[in-house]
Structure 1
Amino acid sequence: MRKRRKVRGLLSAIVALCAAWAPGSATAGGDHGQAGTAVELGPRPFHLVEDMDDSPLKRRLQQCAKRPSRRSDFSIAHRGAPLQFPEHTREFYEAAIRMGAGIVECDVTFTADRELVCRHSQCDLHTTTDILARPDLAAKCSAPFVPAEFDPATGERTRAASARCCTSDITLAEFRTLCGKMDAANPDATSVAQYLDGTARWRTDLYAGCGTLMTHAESIALFRRHGVKMTPELKEPSVPMPYQGDYTQQQYAQQMIDEYRAAGVRPREVFPQSFRIEDVRYWIEHEPLFGRQAVYLDGRVDDPAFVATLEDFQALAAQGVRIVAPPMWALVTLDESQRIVPSGYAQLARLAGLDIIAWSFERTGPIADMIPEGRQYYFQSVAEVMDNDGDAIEVLDVLAREVGIIGIFSDWPATVTHYANCMRL
């Protein structure tokens, strides 16, 4: 009997070990993921690989299709998985984690009672939730719904439909009652129902019945439960600061860090971000353990007058900045042979000793549609050599191997996860 118990115990241990190393297991190889959390890539990464022009990279990615996938910190979930799920909702965070994102983003803003919540903008509730369909809460919006107007003779729109609803218009208790939806609005709408029904044709409303909105603290608890790292972005307030006369920008920046401390999160698991260099400097000075991984989202590149210089990047490094994060297009350019190569910005930032994160992969619709119409922001510097969705992976490869980025935000993390696993990043 004792011998049988030993055999059963040995078999149980073998079964547990096999489960941990099963294909798709996020715990295989000692990954920091939650035990039992499997990485599920789905068909999209492989669809994009098949769409690539023939190349050694394509063949390598095809060969990797049979390998098990593990979670990767190179794969950063941008707002979750908003290509098909309502952003900053519990459902889309969980989808991103299943796709192997090792780091997940909560964009942080605040409500009327100064509670921190996950929203991409303080004033996006009219496009990301059902607030306009809720008369009691719609009445509190900064600007009510105004229908579109059209020229009766030509039928041309003379005024787009509009509204403005902010988290600072409502309390946390009221925020919790809202349903998350795909971020979109119909500018031709003449009714609230039409205004809310604006999802782009290349996205879907199949998973947008009623997305569960999250507070910042709830996002921390969810991410800890799944064992992923966190990258909160302190959003630029849409209201004058100090808010309500005494809530300062510094208190706002500190409150965000305090919620990680209260949850017992280790600083090395957090990458706080901001487009405001002042916020980054505040964390470096007042919260150095968190500040050492603070990410400066470099929006200066959108200013035509901005010129990247080594002196500028060295000055950032001297202030304690270790990571910069510009949009993808600022990191690549075309050489004389029309080959995609690292940009001057990328080379100078690396020369100054800075790490680089890029944003955001799979953020827009089909490349074949976007580029001819001049609507392709993220690949604008190399758009002239791109004509299919598979070309985006070629850009990703240059960013990873030649620019040397340490991670990239993505609206569908599975694709980046597949690339990262295949390249053993």
Structure 2
Amino acid sequence: MTRTFTLALAGTILAGAATAAPVELGPRPFYLIDRMEEGALKDKLMACQDMEMTAQKFSIGHRGAPLMFPEHTVESNRAAARMGAGILECDVTFTADKELVCRHAQNDLHTTTNILATDLAENCTTPFTGANGDTPAAAECRTSDITLAEFRTLTGKMDAANAMGETVEAYMDGTAGWRTDLYSAMGGTLMTHAESIALFDELGADFTPELKSPSVEMPFDGFTQADYAQKMINEYKDAGIAPNRVWPQSFNLEDVLYWIENEPEFGKQAVYLVEWFNGFDEQNAETWNEDFAALVDQGVNYLAPSINMLVTVKDGQIAASDYAMAAKEAGLNLITWTLERSGPLNTGGGWYYQSVAEAVDNDADYFTVLDVLAQDVGVEGVFSDWPATVTYYANCMAQGM
């Protein structure tokens, strides 16, 4: 019998979605389903092929839809919303004049924008040097190297670099073969954090901004970490966004605790991000339970581990990890990242799938992993680089709730 599940977020049509564009998934979910192994899950998913799809909060656009669009751009987020992502992400960092902008890292402009091909290249922390023999190319360009006005002159590109490029042009031409430059040829439109709020609201989506760790020493020109965390929340308040539409994230627990203490309405949905690290398998349940109990005692309600922490292989099948079950038993709400991020599953899927590499052999296994995350782990949302897959699943499996 096909299992059904109840997700706190999965079946909820977005507030404001009536003004959003119709959901159009494109061919990818159907392509994946066609290639699944025969069984109850495939049968259930196939039975939903004629459904009218709606936007779902269970489907979270990770930097928009960067499988094919330059991340953190207007175009990428419009694509994610079109595919039914009910929550969209702006990774938040700051410029030299302490204005908040959307970038995955403060020091990624050399791989995510055209800065090296502009006069602003001379402002970079580490100017470009081409590869020389076995010595790879090098560059580091930070948002804090430039002002907001200068940031606005840049365009987004696919996040990539050719480490063996001897010229700027060769270095910038490094997009992985399983991604594409088709939608970056004309350049992606960069956004400030405030502009992302206006765009996501227009698209009928909710918000999950991530406060990124600064590459500069803090305080930065008098700008403290607390100032930074507060400024991000202030931009939602200034825009009149209800706190229950915002899931602020950070890998820095101190940021999460700051929001819980100083902005409790936003802190209720503050998300503590954690990721796989060396020696993860050597941790034990006692350590997990102590960690989880401490988080709950401090008021943390949401934990967002990477996918590889939540799934494992048991008896040859993909299954919920002991870590995932301990987190749920502690009362933590789980969100996870990132589906369709690190390459084709027929070669193991990369970092995100290292805990289940022996059990995945083609991209159709994305649905198998997703089903375990939803049914057995009980996650409340899944970040994806191509939200259509998660949107399809959330619509299909929420039938009859």
TM-score higher than 0.5 = yes
Counterpart residue type for residue 111 of structure 2: T
The answer to whether residue 359 in structure 2 is matched with residue 385 in structure 1 is yes
C-alpha change, 1:300 and 1:205, in structure 2 (3 Å) is closer
CA distance in 1, matches of 2:247, 2:306: 17
TM superposition outliers: structure 1 runs of 4+ over 4 Å: 28-31, 300-303, 305-308
The corresponding residue for 2:31 is 47
Check the 8 A contact 2:20/2:202 in 1, yes or no: no
Structure 1 residue runs without a partner (length 5+): 1-27, 151-157
The corresponding residue for 1:37 is 21
CA distance in 1, matches of 2:151, 2:318: 45
The corresponding residue for 2:342 is 364
The answer to whether residue 324 in structure 2 is matched with residue 354 in structure 1 is no
Deviation at 1:30, TM superposition (A): 7.7
Deviation at 1:410, TM superposition (A): 0.2
CA distance in 2, matches of 1:117, 1:97: 20
Counterpart residue type for residue 415 of structure 1: T
Structure with higher Rg: it is 1
The corresponding residue for 2:127 is 144
Structure 2 residue runs without a partner (length 5+): 1-11
Deviation at 1:34, TM superposition (A): 3.9
Counterpart residue type for residue 185 of structure 1: A
1:227 counterpart (195, 204, 226)? 204
Check the 8 A contact 2:131/2:138 in 1, yes or no: yes
Which protein, 1 or 2, shows the higher relative CO under an 8 Å CA cutoff with sep ≥ 6?
2
CA distance in 2, matches of 1:34, 1:233: 27
Deviation at 1:303, TM superposition (A): 5.0
Check the 8 A contact 2:313/2:355 in 1, yes or no: yes
| Post-superposition CA distance 1:273-324 (Å, at most 9, x none) | 0000000000000000000000000136555465452121011001000010
CA distance in 2, matches of 1:274, 1:387: 32
Deviation at 1:140, TM superposition (A): 0.2
How large is the RMSD of aligned CA atoms in angstroms?
Answer: 1.5
1:321 counterpart (274, 284, 300)? 300
1:102 counterpart (86, 101, 124)? 86
CA distance in 2, matches of 1:30, 1:51: 31
Check the 8 A contact 2:26/2:388 in 1, yes or no: yes
The answer to whether residue 118 in structure 2 is matched with residue 178 in structure 1 is no
2:192 counterpart (182, 190, 215)? 215
C-alpha change, 1:214 and 1:288, in structure 2 (3 Å) is same
The residue correspondences of 1:7-406 to structure 2 (distance < 5 A) are 32-35=16-19, 37-134=21-118, 136-150=119-133, 158-208=134-184, 209-244=186-221, 246-299=222-275, 301-302=277-278, 304=280, 306-307=283-284, 308-335=287-314, 337-369=315-347, 371=348, 376-406=350-380
TM-score by structure 2 length? Answer: 0.93
Deviation at 1:392, TM superposition (A): 1.7
Check the 8 A contact 1:89/1:211 in 2, yes or no: yes
TM-score by structure 1 length? Answer: 0.88
| Post-superposition CA distance 1:213-253 (Å, at most 9, x none) | 00000000001112210000000000000012x11000000
C-alpha change, 1:384 and 1:42, in structure 2 (3 Å) is same
Q: Percent of counterpart pairs with the same letter?
A: 57
CA distance in 2, matches of 1:218, 1:399: 32
Counterpart residue type for residue 144 of structure 1: P
| Post-superposition CA distance 1:100-146 (Å, at most 9, x none) | 00000000000000000000000000000000000x20000000111
Check the 8 A contact 1:301/1:330 in 2, yes or no: no
The corresponding residue for 1:414 is 388
CA distance in 2, matches of 1:29, 1:177: 36
